[in-house]
Structure 1
Amino acid sequence: MLTPLSSPREQPAGNQQDGNNLNERRELIKTVVASSLVTALEMFDFTVFGFFAVMIGDQFFPAGDPLISLLWGVGTFGVGFLMRPVGAMMIGAYADRKGRRAALTRTTWLMALGTAALALCPPYASIGVLAPFVIIVARSLQGFAVGGDIGVASAFVLEAGPAARRGSRVSWQPASQGAAALLGASLGILIIHTLPPVALASWGWRIPFVVGLLIAPLGLYVRRRLRDVPMPQRAAQDAGMPLRELFRDHGNTIVLGMLMMMGQTIPVYSIVYFMPSYAMRVMHLPALTGYLASASSAFLLMVIPPLAGRLLDQLPRRKPVALVASGCTTLLVLPAFVLATRATHALPIIAGAALVSLTMAFSAVAIALLVLEALPARVRASGMAVAQAFNVALFGGTAQFIVTGLIKWTGDPLSAAWYVAPACATSFCAIVLFRERRGS
């Protein structure tokens, strides 16, 4: 007996299901790419300031002692971090009330405005004290925008697909931040090789900020086409007030999450972003040495997180990976600075920074997943944004200033390690205390 062929009505049904699955996969890829790409551009705009802190300090904060100008430069770098908690609370709460896509679109506009001001502001020699004022306002705008963006984007990609692939999706957020650092360091290398020192100090440092203005058209284009995630209902007493619920019910998660993230934040800003200034002003090495060390570290921070995310998706728990990676970072900080202080050429500095970056990349993904999964969806965007922003404001924005001040005070280049290593050890202890909630 012949088996009847599928009827014309039955055949398209299977094709329609396949088509729906394909559309879902495309939408998921678009969500991850759009969120990560624009986050990378925003982080590039925000952090490239640190790579060119020497030139910016000389242009906008002139002083008799070059190290004092550098202190003013890295101090202004930290101003943007003070606004990140404000942006995290306001933009994160907005995302938990109105949706992730609307919040991400607004951060794109704010970051573009701040970057434009940095790129176009005349130096102190032209407009006097108005120049540092404009720089501080521009950094504040950048800090406000990126303070909300990272937490909201991380929550967005976590919620965009099945729970079994959360690690792979979330990993692209730290990878995008590594890509931002790599782009900044690579541009630094290119500009140093291309421009004479006078041109570099006078206007060449502005080139990365002009490049960063791409965020406006590109960011708005991709983020306006994202499909938003439906927001869950919250209790009547907390309606429209996600921050009240966040701090009342999840304060312990936020504090421990902030301390766990500190173990990546302080090393990143003290080693990766600060290395060009450290090599030039502290070790009196060629600028290229510092930029090569930053570029190699940033490359690892870009390529390792997706591998770490895939590994974490295969393992039953996140916490053991976070503990091992954080412990290794703590142990490697001092050797990395010893290599840097005793180096006469680039290779030891590059090797030390790369080893620390390798372990930080694993811990960054694991810790992000631990914090995101410990928070319910109705406060996840604001919770992740607040933990990340307060961590970076307290520890990232001050790291370069503290490290520079320690070196100036003690006269010992190795004194930087005595700040970074205990911070990593504190982060390790916070991971031990944190309760994993992967199933939530």
Structure 2
Amino acid sequence: MPNNPGSAATMSDSAPRPGRAMDVLRVASGNFIEMYDFMVFGYFAAAIGSAYFPGSSELGTLLKALATFGVGFLMRPLGAIVLGAYTDHHGRRAGLIVTLALMSVGIATIAFTPGYAAIGIAAPLFVLLGRLLQGFSAGAELGNVSVYLAEIAPPGKKGFYVSWQSASQQVAVVFAAMIGVVLGMTMSVDQLADWGWRIPLGLGCLIIPLLFLMRRHLRESDLFAARTTRPTMRQIMRHLWVARARVLTGMAMVLMTTVSFYMITAYTPTFGKLLHLPERANLLITAGVGLSNLIWLPLMGALSDRIGRTPILLACTILAILTAYPAMAWLAASPSVTKLLLVELWLSAIYASYNSAMVVHLTEIVPEEAGASGFSLAYSLATAIGGFTPFVVTALISATGNLAMPGVWLTAIAAISLAAALYSRRYSRA
């Protein structure tokens, strides 16, 4: 991919609003498919586990599927470094097209691999390979999108613009959940478990050509196009090593985002089953959480432009520490659909408000010379931990018999992110 400034039209603050809005849509579209695929895997973890990881117990099969869901996150740091460096050298547009291509192969692999009954041990190995490839590409996707949006944002609106990285993911949460609801209404339980779970993955594959078409017309950011030098992999690695304290601080801040997000979205259908609540209601609640996130994210992103990032970061982490376990304990004492909805919406407000300030703050503390790499590495290291949240909380519940254990996990993580948010102020360029 050519990397000279003339290889793509550039963006300036004088660009007309419709053009800038289209660039936000184009860059966020690929982010949608990345999260859509992760959500589908999380929503149908039990069915995917039965297809690829047969075991002696339903819980054992579920844990294997959730472990496979989580293992893809272990590839994110490697993808962050390799693909982030590619983006910092060749351009935001080039990097975003590469990550979309790799994500496409990953989702197709999981969608079309036959089950264990058909090809034996090769089935879970192919699924694992697909998850690893998805994790590798996703390692740089969020960083590429966030840095690009920060670079094209008009002065004083960076928080609002960058919030659309996360907002596009919420569209995926809602879309995947509603597909699950429709499938649950039109198919029997056996049909859904046997082959119906492949339908949403197939739909994701059908959307991919449109996303490629949209990203092909993405304009390079002025800030990147104006650079006279492009760092090599060795130079980027040096920048990251020098800025390792910033990256690790950013990782600790991101932990709150990844743990809370996967807890209230991908894990909700599984958690609802453990609470013995109706499956359709669990998916509808998940869709409601996605809508709630979608509303809070841009609003709080805009607020962070007015009052700063730190007040929001501190308020949200403290609220999580004080309320996560009590809310979960209240739900676990006598589970109901209404209680699950209220708890999830409360955690949604905390997550989305925190994330709206955290993501843009992260773009402001990583080294400018390796913006995509630094952001992606910090985010991916955190996601390598937070992505295992469905597995961790299920294992904690299994070990203790306490259905409120997700609250303990979130409380501990929020305490770490609170300390990191306080420490990060020394690095901010805002």
TM-score, normalised on structure 1? 0.90
**2:271 aligned residue:** 278
SS at match of 2:220: coil
Q: CA deviation at 1:232?
A: 6.1
**1:369 aligned residue:** 360
For the pair shown, the structure with the greater C-alpha radius of gyration is: 1
Alignment of 1:422-433 (within 5 A): 422-433=412-423
Q: CA deviation at 1:332?
A: 2.4
Q: 1:362-394 CA deviation, whole Å, 9 max, x = no partner?
A: 110111111101234321111111111111012
Q: CA deviation at 1:343?
A: 3.7
**1:142 aligned residue:** 134
**2:5 aligned residue:** none
SS at match of 1:164: coil
Distance in 1 (CA, whole Å) between partners of 2:234 and 2:152 is: 23
Structure 2 residue 375 is the aligned partner of structure 1 residue 384: yes
Structure 2 residue 287 is the aligned partner of structure 1 residue 287: no
Paired residues in the alignment total 417
Distance in 1 (CA, whole Å) between partners of 2:123 and 2:87 is: 34
What is the letter of the counterpart of residue 351 of structure 1?
A: L
Alignment of 1:12-411 (within 5 A): 23-229=15-221, 230-231=224-225, 233=227, 239-280=232-273, 282-315=274-307, 317-396=308-387, 398-411=388-401
| CA pair 367-359 structure 1, distance change in 2 beyond 3 A | same
**1:3 aligned residue:** none
Distance in 2 (CA, whole Å) between partners of 1:297 and 1:324 is: 20
**1:11 aligned residue:** none
Distance in 2 (CA, whole Å) between partners of 1:232 and 1:120 is: 43
| CA pair 32-100 structure 1, distance change in 2 beyond 3 A | same
Distance in 2 (CA, whole Å) between partners of 1:61 and 1:97 is: 41
Q: Which runs of 5+ in 2 are unaligned?
A: 1-11
Q: CA deviation at 1:307?
A: 0.8
Q: CA deviation at 1:21?
A: 7.8
The question of whether the paired residues in 2 share the 8 Å contact of 1:334 and 1:417 is answered with: yes
Distance in 2 (CA, whole Å) between partners of 1:419 and 1:340 is: 16
Distance in 1 (CA, whole Å) between partners of 2:377 and 2:13 is: 35
Distance in 1 (CA, whole Å) between partners of 2:232 and 2:123 is: 44
Q: CA deviation at 1:326?
A: 1.9
| CA pair 21-95 structure 1, distance change in 2 beyond 3 A | closer
| CA pair 210-336 structure 1, distance change in 2 beyond 3 A | farther
Q: 1:91-117 CA deviation, whole Å, 9 max, x = no partner?
A: 111110110100110111111111111
The question of whether the paired residues in 2 share the 8 Å contact of 1:112 and 1:215 is answered with: no
Structure 2 residue 406 is the aligned partner of structure 1 residue 416: yes
Query: Identity of aligned pairs, percent?
Result: 33
The question of whether the paired residues in 2 share the 8 Å contact of 1:179 and 1:301 is answered with: no
TM-score, normalised on structure 2? 0.92
Distance in 2 (CA, whole Å) between partners of 1:369 and 1:249 is: 21
Q: CA deviation at 1:416?
A: 2.9
**2:4 aligned residue:** none
Which deviates the most, 227-236 or 254-263?
227-236
The question of whether the paired residues in 2 share the 8 Å contact of 1:36 and 1:172 is answered with: yes
Distance in 1 (CA, whole Å) between partners of 2:378 and 2:168 is: 19
The question of whether the paired residues in 1 share the 8 Å contact of 2:239 and 2:369 is answered with: no
Which deviates the most, 111-120 or 268-277?
268-277
**2:3 aligned residue:** none
| CA pair 117-232 structure 1, distance change in 2 beyond 3 A | same
Q: CA deviation at 1:290?
A: 2.1
Q: CA deviation at 1:309?
A: 1.6
Distance in 2 (CA, whole Å) between partners of 1:239 and 1:57 is: 42
Q: 1:120-157 CA deviation, whole Å, 9 max, x = no partner?
A: 11111111111101110111111111111110110001
Distance in 2 (CA, whole Å) between partners of 1:26 and 1:376 is: 31
